Amino acid sequence: MEAANNNLLTVENLKKHFPIKKGLLRRVLGHVKAVDDVSFKIRRGETLGLVGESGCGKSTIGKLILRALKPTAGTIMFRVDDEEVLIHELSDAELRSFRRHAQLIFQDPYASLNPRMTVREIIGEPILVNRDQQTVDLDQRVKELMDLVGLDSRYLKRYPHAFSGGQRQRIGVARALALNPDLIVADEPVSALDVSIQAQILNLLHDIQQDLNLTYLFISHDLSVVEHISDRVAVMYVGKLVELADNDDIFRRPKHPYTEALLAAVPQISERQKRETYTLGGNIADPANPPSGCYFHPRCRYAKEICKTQPVVMEEVSPRHQVACHLARELSLKGL
Ligand code: SF4
């Protein structure tokens, strides 16, 4: 059994509902349930991949963990040394001091770096803002961070436009590492990069994780990227987790039809494999007005009557493998 204090992050029954307002009086007509009753844990030093189609709520989870958004309900517990920090309850002042422990790597290295700041200023800014660490030699620390991410520290005074997309993402990684965080939320960190550069950044993230014992929440719509870097994978659909398991189980032995459909879209080498898989039809459901029963039933090729009426809950169907599907124990689904 896992030691509880080996979990760096524990998320329980997390919800984020955005009100839909209309008219002069801004009356609330309903809610978009962007994140709806999501629970998971991330062990220290682990990478949890979070996948799903665009609009499923995965980036909202990242923002809630970093408290860029306040949850509607639920708890987010972060372990700092032997202390449990309840992120969802932090005041603004407490939040400022907590932020050094959890940092974000952005999706777009072109848009996320201030073009008027030098590399020294971009990477050094979090160090300067954090008063406790003002005694460090800033130039020395920025050079160390540039070395760590494979950037030539002679380019300290250059501006972002002088760098390629891959190098800019390295600058973003160095900035995220500036305060020695425990957790990195990487939100689609390679999706804006050329395929040839993606592998370099993924390898960099892997290497610095080993060196610094970092923990990652790696958010992506691209399963081949997630397969490459994750220890465990959570699959999300319309604000809810539908499957959560070790990497190998998700990719070789999926137990949720949505996971199977996502895997079918991953490019296959063998033509025979391609013919045996199928394409996911229809659009992702509206989180303001989801279908009854299992939210996936209008798109599921295995759906039965029960799926249209009875809600699903996450259940452990085999060791360390949770699934939210009425038929999870009887279906035999195709992995990669
Ligand atoms: Fe498909 Fe039914 Fe399972 Fe939902 S509960 S994924 S509709 S089989």
Structure-block tokens of residue 248:
């190998």
- Ligand 1 center–CA 310 separation, angstroms: 10
Cα distance between residue 77 and residue 9, in whole Å: 6
Could you give all domains of the chain from N- to C-terminal order, each with its CATH number? 4-101+181-323 (3.40.50.300)
Half-sphere exposure of 251 (CA within 13 A, CB side): 20
Question: For ligand 1, is residue 294 a contact (CB within 6 Å)?
Answer: yes
With contact defined as beta carbons under 8 Å apart, do 17 and 32 qualify?
yes
- Ligand 1 center–CA 269 separation, angstroms: 28
- pLDDT at position 336 is 87
Question: For ligand 1, is residue 300 a contact (CB within 6 Å)?
Answer: yes
Residue pLDDT tens, the chain, 336 long: 445 579 999 999 999 999 999 888 888 889 999 999 999 999 999 999 999 998 899 999 999 999 999 999 999 999 988 899 999 999 988 998 898 999 999 888 778 899 999 999 999 999 888 766 556 788 999 999 999 999 999 999 999 999 999 999 999 999 999 999 999 999 999 988 888 899 999 999 999 999 999 999 999 999 999 999 999 999 999 999 999 999 999 999 999 999 999 999 887 655 555 545 567 778 888 899 999 999 999 999 999 999 999 999 999 999 999 999 999 999 999 998
With contact defined as beta carbons under 8 Å apart, do 262 and 220 qualify?
no
In this prediction the pTM is 0.92
- Ligand 1 center–CA 101 separation, angstroms: 38
- Ligand 1 center–CA 250 separation, angstroms: 17
- Ligand 1 center–CA 301 separation, angstroms: 8
Ligand 1, closest atom to CA 302?
Answer: 8
Q: What are the φ and ψ backbone dihedral angles of 316, each rounded to 5 degrees?
A: -80, 110
Which protein residue's CA is at the shortest distance from atom 5 of ligand 1? Answer: 325
Mutate to test the pocket of ligand 1, among 236, 258, 294 (most ligand atoms within 8 A of CB): 294
